Amino acid sequence: MLQVQFGSSEGKTILSLSVMPRLFQSSNGYLLAMRVQFAVGLFALCAFAQADRLIDIPTARKIPFGKFRYEFRSEPFTGGSNEHYLGLGITTAFELDLRCFQTSGEKQLGTFDGSYAFIAAIPGISPGISLGFQDGLDKTEDGRRIYLATTFREPLQVGNDTIRADVTFGVQTGRFTSPFVGFTLPFGRQLYLVGEHNGARITAGIELRLAQNVVVRYLSRGSQTLITLSASTVF
């Protein structure tokens, strides 16, 4: 299960996230509960799994086979950088992501990412695991790198609803080697808190799910304010 704790230290507010797998419960109910959760988890993965990256860090949740996700991200208040992103679920395990980005005063550049999902997450039981690379053409600020990502999907009780929170841990190596971490924390079915540390920068903000496949985000990264709009559908 996922535990969320708020506290303070030296005048600073601290958000603590910890993942605790649900292990052996009473023998009479364990197998039945596991089978029910397994079936529900598989259904949820087929119907709702859309996340291929969190903000910039990769996750172990791939775009489903036969679907694509388009995202546009920009700095609307300063006329700074912008990025177009297209993610494709090309098989049940492989995903290909195409990116085109431009920083203020610079020419537009393109690159691509790829991932292989070894194991899909079963909510409340086991994490998903994926292996992949980012920036295959070595064009971005962070450069070409390979990674291993693990994503836990844990049910949280929010009001009268049970909604899944995601926590991703991973490690990357390339231009620099570091761990990365990120989370998606629900405050309701439409409103989420998102945040990540990609090994070099912290980015966080709010996510509003306008419809099942339409998402808007307002993000802060240091002095940057970013707005993203994404949509996904079948191709």
Residue closest to 68 by CA, chosen among 93, 87, 45, 94: 87
Residues in Cβ contact with 54 at an 8 Å cutoff, skipping those fewer than 6 apart: 166, 168, 182, 184, 194, 196
User: Taking the complete model, does pTM exceed 0.85, yes or no?
Assistant: no
Tell whether the model's pLDDT for residue 63 goes beyond 70. Answer: yes
d(CA 100, CA 59): 20
Region of 135 on the Ramachandran plot (φ > 0 left; ψ -120 to 50 alpha; else beta) = left
* CA 232 to each of CA 6, 12, 69, 90, 109: distance values in angstroms, whole numbers, following the listed order: 34, 38, 4, 14, 23
Tell whether the model's pLDDT for residue 80 goes beyond 90. Answer: no
d(CA 141, CA 221): 14
d(CA 69, CA 114): 14
Tell me which of 15-19, 136-140, 194-198 is least confident.
15-19
Six-digit token pair at 205? 């903000």
**β-bridge mates for residue 9, sequence order:** 12
The pLDDT tens digits for 150-202 are 999 999 999 899 999 999 999 999 999 999 999 999 999 999 999 999 999 99
- Show the 3-state SS of 164-197: EEEEEEEEEEECCCEEEEEEEEECCCCEEEEEEE
Six-digit token pair at 66? 């036969």
Per-residue pLDDT band at 10 (split at 50, 70, 90): very low
DSSP class of residue 53 equals B
Task: Give pLDDT, residue 7.
Answer: 44
Q: What is the mean pLDDT of residues 61-86?
A: 92
Tell whether the model's pLDDT for residue 23 goes beyond 50. Answer: no
How many CB atoms neighbour CB 131 within 10 A?
A: 16
Per-residue pLDDT band at 51 (split at 50, 70, 90): low
Residues in Cβ contact with 49 at an 8 Å cutoff, skipping those fewer than 6 apart: 61, 62, 63, 64, 120
Question: Between residues 199 and 18, which one has the greater pLDDT?
Answer: 199
Tell whether the model's pLDDT for residue 5 goes beyond 60. Answer: no
In single-letter form, the type of residue at position 99 comes to: R
Residue closest to 99 by CA, chosen among 111, 81, 115, 87: 111
Per-residue pLDDT band at 142 (split at 50, 70, 90): very high
Where helices occur in 25-155 by DSSP H, the ranges are 27-48
Residue closest to 180 by CA, chosen among 199, 154, 204: 199
The pLDDT tens digits for 105-122 are 789 999 999 999 999 999
Task: Give pLDDT, residue 204.
Answer: 98
Six-digit token pair at 99? 């990116």
% of the chain residues with pLDDT over 90: 70
Task: Give pLDDT, residue 34.
Answer: 37
Q: What is the mean pLDDT of residues 60-88?
A: 93
Task: Give pLDDT, residue 49.
Answer: 41
Q: What is the mean pLDDT of residues 88-99?
A: 96
